[in-house]
Structure 1
Amino acid sequence: MRALVLTGPGKAEVQEVEPPVAGPGQVVVGIERAGVCGTDVELFTGEMSYLHTGRSWYPLRPGHEWCGTVTAVGDGVDAAWLGRRVTGDTMLGCGRCDRCRKGRHHVCADLAEIGISRGRAGALAEQLAVPASALHALPDTVDAASGALVEPGGNALRSVHAAGLEPGERLLVLGTGTIGLLVALFARARGAEVHLMGRDEDGLRLARRLGFDDAWTRPSLPALPWDAVVDASNAPHLPALALELVEPAGRVVYIGLAGTPSTLDARDLLLKDVTAVGILGGSAGLPGAIAAYADGSVDARPLVAATVGLAETMDVLAGDRPAGAGPGPKIHIDPRR
């Protein structure tokens, strides 16, 4: 089968590789759609920290935002999965440790991430082997574009839960990329008053097109009481700004990752009695994201700017936008092309 392989920093190619086999407890999924994420870009450029700590290595087959159809099942797997449209959890814990038994497999010490770490092949390929325990079935009302947005949607929904807002309370989202916009969509669906802050007016256009009239740059940001702030940016100075802006006794949620360290003054955190929450992975949010896409309360499809074939993935990773791409931040890959 064809698969995208990262062979070194800045080097990628589509290769013919052996197709996966469904081992015990596994299924094979024919990939219908896969999203390109900022993590994939960092793995391509060599900037991803895992490459420097030994948690990831080349050659590497990326892709962790996906959907498709189960084409084979291994021993011990219910045959009812055959032919079902699915997506899956990126985070694969050992299943035996205390963290896994407590439902925290996403922070398992032996965590492997599909398409990211410990050699787990990813979904930028025609087929993918996945543990059946990681599968989530997709209703017919969730199309391919939405199915491949479940994983980032799960991250966003976890962020909204962590913000702890009641309907009518005010949320400020820092960042208007995929995760920032998804946080805004899920928070609005739950009744929050949502504001977004972007780098410039160009970055706010899609937010406004999605109905978020309260979209600001830093100079134009109004001095309002923010019940919660979600930092969904990759700017190293914004974690401190989130803490500065949030109301005393409010909540700050950190889901963005900067390429360099961010500095927070713990005195500000303490003296404002602020709760700060970090979000890693969408595992616990996947069912809720699927449900919101299925019932139409959240429509994330406008975030997808274009869908291209597997051979064009290298250009996308290098920062090129496909000809005719829309304004959305997300590029999808159809590996069947």
Structure 2
Amino acid sequence: MSSTMRAFVLTGPREYSVQEVPAPEPVAGEVVVDVERAGVCGTDVEFFTGAMTYLHQGHSAYPMRLGHEWAGTVSAVGEGVDPAWLGRRVMGDTMLGDRACRRCRRGHQHTCENRQEVGIRGGRPGALAERIAVPAWSLHALPAAVDPVLGALVEPGGNALRAAQATGYADRVLVLGPGTIGLLTAMFLRAAGAEVHLMGVDDGRFARSLGFGNVWTRATLPDLPFDAVVDATGASDSPALAVDLVEPAGRVVYIGLSGEPSPLDTRLLVLKDVTAVGVLSGSPGLAETITAYASGAVDPRPLVAATVGLTEVGAVLAGEYRAEGPGPKIHVDPRS
């Protein structure tokens, strides 16, 4: 195994290069994974532009290696790790709690104050590289039915599954923002039998190609009672809009994040008796997402518009890459 590898390194806002860096070694309790696919996420774009809050809070700093949606094959294990992991295709949890604090002990390690986040927070290098090192306890084995494309969609799928669950699988659900997370949420809701509506800013042609017939813009949205509304946008006015649109005694779920504070009149929450839920991470939903993908209950493959190499990541993050496919997600194969 080579002692070096290629990795996409972000050195500052809009500054980057593909570098030859030291390959990770498996320390005690960790494994090294040969990365087969990694997804590019909106969070990665925020780091690229310099807007990501963690940069200003001191949780993250340049230079950094992005990539938290990934799948690959275990190629080395550290001391104390079961050698049965060798050769297994896996994906891994992004959120790495300290496993000692009260939150971790209560099963909420994804909210650990001292957590690392792969490719995001605490200096833990991400998967936009040929290899990645992660704790063995963070791994999820992928069955044969879950290929690398699906494997790299498990992390965003876990977030979407949790958003769908947070609606209580209501009878009629409106999803604001038909991007990757919005469409994945809609897929999980549909699989559970909900009547799903989507609202975006265009004609929704891609969403319709996925079998969603109820696709609207703000101007065309019908006057229907929505039992739950999921905000999967990055618009600062969407949280308030979600409360406006939801039925009294309904549920609003917030999984999208705006780059600026979102005004929300909590009096309306109270007067409509609305339950509001925020979703931070896919961690608690990863295993169930893998099961849904393996069974075919949810198939997110059409969301991937293209697969590129490391040298094209900068153009993707800058919004300069034009994919041939219509989907919202770009994958990276670091081996190409």
State if a TM-score over 0.5 links the two structures. yes
Q: Deviations over 1:247-304 (max 9, x none)?
A: 1111000000011110111110001110000000100010111011100010000000
Residue 332 of structure 1: aligned partner: 331
Q: 1:7 aligns with which of 7, 11, 15?
A: 11
Aligned-pair distance for 1:174?
0.1
3-state secondary structure, aligned to 2:26: coil
Q: Identity over aligned residues, as a percent?
A: 67
3-state secondary structure, aligned to 2:298: coil
Which residue identity is paired with 2:297?
S
Distance 2:87 2:182 in 1: 34
Residue 100 of structure 1: aligned partner: 104
Distance 1:95 1:211 in 2: 42
Aligned-pair distance for 1:321?
2.5
Matches within 5 A, 1:177-216: 177-201=179-203, 204-216=204-216
Distance 1:75 1:245 in 2: 54
Distance 1:78 1:198 in 2: 47
Matches within 5 A, 1:118-137: 118-137=122-141
Matches within 5 A, 1:132-281: 132-166=136-170, 169-201=171-203, 204-281=204-281
Distance 1:321 1:9 in 2: 18
3-state secondary structure, aligned to 1:156: helix
Distance 2:53 2:88 in 1: 35
Distance 1:67 1:182 in 2: 18
Which residue identity is paired with 2:59?
R
Residue 84 of structure 1: aligned partner: 88
Tell me if structure 2 keeps the 8 A contact 1:159–1:230.
Answer: yes
Q: Deviations over 1:55-112 (max 9, x none)?
A: 1100000000000000000111111000000000000000000100111001101011
3-state secondary structure, aligned to 1:4: strand
The alignment's C-alpha RMSD in Å is 0.7
Which residue identity is paired with 1:90?
T
Distance 1:108 1:50 in 2: 15
Which residue identity is paired with 2:305?
A
3-state secondary structure, aligned to 2:22: coil
Runs of 5+ consecutive residues of structure 2 not aligned to the other structure: none
Distance 1:94 1:315 in 2: 35
State the TM-score, normalized to the length of structure 1: 0.98
Residue 47 of structure 1: aligned partner: 51
Tell me if structure 2 keeps the 8 A contact 1:165–1:227.
Answer: no
Aligned-pair distance for 1:322?
3.8
Runs of 5+ consecutive residues of structure 1 not aligned to the other structure: none
Distance 1:68 1:2 in 2: 16
Distance 1:321 1:159 in 2: 29
Matches within 5 A, 1:285-304: 285-304=285-304
Q: Deviations over 1:139-169 (max 9, x none)?
A: 1001111110000000000001111025xx0
3-state secondary structure, aligned to 1:59: coil
State the TM-score, normalized to the length of structure 2: 0.98
Distance 1:289 1:300 in 2: 11
Q: 1:70 aligns with which of 67, 70, 74?
A: 74
Distance 1:331 1:160 in 2: 23
